[in-house]
Structure 1
Amino acid sequence: MALNLPSKQSPERRRAAEEDVLMREVDDAVRQDQYSDFARRYGKPLVAAVVLGLAAFAGYLYWDSRQEAAMEQRSETLVGALDQLQAGNLDGAVEALAPLEGEGGGAAIQAALVEAGVAMEQGRAEDAAALYGEIAANADAPQLLRDMATVRQVAATFDTIEPAEAVERLQPLAVPGKPFFASAGELLAMAYLEQGKDREAGTLLAAIAKDETQPDGLRSRARQMAGALGVDAIEDVDAVLEDMRAPQGGAGPAQ
């Protein structure tokens, strides 16, 4: 059986192949020269950029670890102060919070709230009001804490400020659905009474009494005050009577 042997290449095809190989070698040489030229021109700046990038990344990792460590330390300081507070050691709680004085961030705001609460507990209403005022005016503090501080500051200074000032500060917060509606509303009602606006006070107290999201004790107090002002705050008479009987165990009259 005959084998088909490859025929010899023609001179033209061999010449074309040799030229193709030569062009590839030339391209490789040109490319290598280009890489060498690029390395000579930009090699050092690129190396410097890489080194600086690595240094910046290492610096960030160091900064992040320091920030995390500082946050843990602040948290431990707050926990220690709260432990002292729970134990009834008010002075110890304030002393434990000393490292957080002058610092920014949420931990410092929480520390100021604790200090203000201690001041109120110790009868230092003026000091407490000053701390609450700082928190209320702190644009970096969460709005919820600023609103709470506003309510507590008004409460701490209620006997010394004009009713009009209390009304101005509390009206934006004494709105149904807002977090401090009931606490701000009670104070606002008291300010209305100081101004002789009994109807406004009674209407606001009735709204608090009808708000089922509020604690039962607070609603009961608001209902009684609204009734005393001539405003009906009772929606379900049977439910109110049941609540009134609850502290006595709900037992009916003896047979």
Structure 2
Amino acid sequence: MSELFDEVDEEVRRDQLKKLWDAYSIYIVAGALLIIASVGGWRGYQYLEAKKAAEAGRAFDVAVDLSEQNKHVEAEAAFNSLAATAPSGYRMLARLRAAAELATRDPQAGAKLYDDISADRSVGAAVQDLARIRAAGLLLETTSYPSMLQRLEPAAKPEATFRHTARELLALSAWRANDTAAARQWLDTIANDGETPSGLRSRAEALQALLPPVAKS
């Protein structure tokens, strides 16, 4: 008797499953197809992005080779092409390298490209500071200390990534302008930062030795 009831229950379950399948099969199939399509689309996107990155990497290497061969005009054109078409990481690097290539012929124009990067918030604060520093390095011999201070003060703050280089450039600029008070201020800041690289610290100490002694009151 119990076997008969089991067979009846099994038949009832089959009928219920069939009714459910008849009612909802189209939605189940559509959902499964949507999942397959989504996974396939994501895999395709990943493949295309990896392909673009690989192509950009090869093009970047070619541009670097041109630079190392002192073919700066060709290298600049190659980096500018990457800056316009490459994925974001290579695009940012290419903009920096294009500015460097231009600076080999025209430091003022190269500094202007770095200024454009430093004004672009989309590249991130660290890259902005790096661009500020590279522009300032190109203009060190021709720009006044107040102008250098305006350029580099944000990059010289305690939390800034490239603060050590920014402070060294400011100390050099102040020294060139015979502003010993400002030079000493930046050299003291370099000396008092425990994270100052040893090479930079040595250069700062050498510059400190060139300053006149502090007048005693």
Question: Where on the TM-score scale, by shorter chain, does this alignment land: which range?
Answer: 0.7 to 0.9
Q: Normalising to structure 1: TM-score of the pair?
A: 0.70
Structure 1 position 125 matched with structure 2 position 104: no
Match of 2:197 in 1: 214
Map 1:19-98; keep pairs closer than 5 Å: 20-98=2-80
CA RMSD across the alignment: 2.9
Deviations 1:139-191 (A, max 9, x none): 33254322211111233345676644432442343357854333211222245
Q: CA deviation at 1:101?
A: 3.1
State the partner residue of 2:97.
114
Is the 1:203–1:231 Cα contact (8 Å) retained in structure 2?
A: no
The more displaced of 165-174 and 44-53 is 165-174
Counterpart of 1:4 in structure 2 is none
Change (3 A) 1:212 1:102: closer
Letter of the 2:162 partner, please give it.
Answer: F
Task: Give 5+ residue unaligned stretches, structure 1.
Answer: 1-17, 233-255
Contact kept, 8 Å, 1:170 with 1:188, in 2: the verdict is yes
Q: Equivalent residue of 1:101, what SS?
A: helix
Aligned-pair identity (%) = 26
Scaled by the length of structure 2, the TM-score of the pair is: 0.81
Question: What are the within-5 Å matches in structure 2 for residues 92-241 of structure 1?
Answer: 92-103=74-85, 104-122=87-105, 124-158=106-140, 163-174=145-156, 179-192=161-174, 197-208=179-190, 214=197, 216=199, 218-230=200-212
- Contact 2:171–2:186, Cα closer than 8 Å, also in 1: yes
Asked which structure has the greater CA Rg, the reply is 1
Is the CA contact (8 Å cut-off) linking 2:83 and 2:92 kept in structure 1? no
**Distance of 1:32 and 1:212 partners within structure 2:** 74
Counterpart CA distance in 2 for 1:31 and 1:74 is 59
Higher percent of residues as helix: 2
- Flag structure 2 segments of 5+ consecutive residues without an equivalent: none
Letter aligned with residue 133 of structure 1 = D
